[in-house]
Amino acid sequence: MPKTLLQQLRTMTTVVADTGDIEAIEQVKPQDATTNPSLITAAAQMPQYQSIVDGVLQDAKKKLGESASDQAVAKEAFKHLAIAFGKQILAIVPGRVSTEVDARLSFDTEGTMKMARDIIKLYADQGISKERILIKIASTWEGIKAAEQLEKEGIHCNLTLLFGIHQAVACAEAKVTLVSPFVGRILDWYKKDTGKDYQGADDPGVQSVTKIYSYFKHFGYKTVVMGASFRNIGEIRELAGCDLLTISPHLLHELDSVQEDLPRKLDPEKAKSEQIEKLIIDKATFDKMHAADRMAHDKLKEGIEGFTKALETLELLLAKRVAELSEKEPKPVGAD
């Protein structure tokens, strides 16, 4: 029987599930999984995960005491919810889970490092080694500097919201473990900006990841590339051979339903023989290149704002749920 695209992809690329939905992860059996604030917010609203949410809220209330406000309990619980989902995911996947630092800390190096260490400690309290965790941090200059220090402490980082070569090279120079260039979001920007449609190798998101992959392999960086944010399986086919690809469950199912030949497109040996100019990225160069790259500038800003909004939505949902749980609690005898 001919092999599916997904079966062939697994022979050359580590397949990662891009979701917070534990049931979906059980179905697609990826090596690793990635989450982000939007995915955790979506998963937290699914009825099948209400017990996880309620358990985290009850623990937070116990920790803060009965007099704590619903908002204070929600804020405390929010820090633990991603870890609760991460723990469940790690019981299914053999590899790692990516857990994101608060997007509101994207321009705060010290704050990012503190939260990353807190996340690692919370996982350690659950008996989970830091080797199984990737801390997701936005690819701002401040985020990259935080990741550089965290990597020296043995905390592995996944630099996300990455759109430009300047971000990627700065990450590689900082010796981060992994970068996640956003294929689909780049395509979205170009389609809107030019009014054109793009297919296959002409897709600007595909071209961006190919360029980053070739640069890293050509110059021998250890940082690996994980293409992310796909709009269709055509983009995935063009990036076959990339170190890792993080793919939503519905696209994983689609890949597993197609039986066609999947040629390898990205190859480290081929990249070594390409003519590639070395870039030196300090803060001034980073800022200059970022300002000149309208797409990277717009999408990084939009991504941070989107994840921030998702976090704020999640905090409101959690506060509302705290109030509902309080109403269900039996009142002491003699209370009004």
**Which residues make Cβ contacts (< 8 Å) with residue 188, sequence separation at least 6?**
231
Structure token digits, residue 134: 């990737």
Q: What is the pLDDT of residues 280-322, one digit of tens each?
A: 999 999 999 999 999 999 999 999 999 999 999 999 999 999 9
Structure token digits, residue 172: 């590689």
Name the pLDDT band for 145 (thresholds 50, 70, 90).
very high
Q: What is the pLDDT of residues 62-88, one digit of tens each?
A: 999 989 999 999 988 988 999 999 999
Q: Is the pLDDT of residue 335 over 50?
A: no
Section 198-221 average pLDDT: 97
Section 27-45 average pLDDT: 91
- What is the residue-averaged pLDDT of the chain? 95
Answer left, alpha or beta for residue 69, where phi above 0 means left and psi between -120 and 50 means alpha. beta
| CA nearest to 49, candidates 257, 317, 261 | 317
CB atoms within 10 A of CB 243: 19
**pLDDT on residue 81:** 93
Q: What angle do CA 9, 10, 13 make, to 5 degrees?
A: 80
Q: Is the pLDDT of residue 57 over 80?
A: yes
Determine whether 136 is an active site residue: yes
Q: Is the pLDDT of residue 334 over 60?
A: no
Looking at 130, 136, 145, 217, which residue is catalytic? 136
Q: Is the pLDDT of residue 331 over 70?
A: no
Q: How many CA atoms lie within 13 A of 15 on its CB side?
A: 23
**pLDDT on residue 326:** 85
Q: Is the pLDDT of residue 186 over 90?
A: yes
pTM, two decimal places:
0.93
**Lowest mean pLDDT: which of 34-38, 116-120, 258-262?**
34-38
Q: Is the pLDDT of residue 332 over 90?
A: no
Burial of 291 (C-beta count, 10 Å sphere; 0-12/13-18/19+): exposed
CA dihedral 184, 188, 193, 196 (to 10 degrees): 90
Reported residue count of the chain is 336
- The domain covering 5-327 belongs, at the CATH homologous superfamily level, to Aldolase class I (3.20.20.70)
DSSP 26-83: HHH--SEEE--HHHHHHHHTSGGGHHHHHHHHHHHHHHH-TTS-HHHHHHHHHHHHHH
Section 140-167 average pLDDT: 98
Section 152-164 average pLDDT: 98
Section 52-60 average pLDDT: 94
Name the pLDDT band for 330 (thresholds 50, 70, 90).
low
**pLDDT on residue 2:** 81
Dist. CA 301–CA 299, nearest whole Å: 5
CA distances from 316 to 36, 77, 78, 86 (A): 17, 12, 10, 21
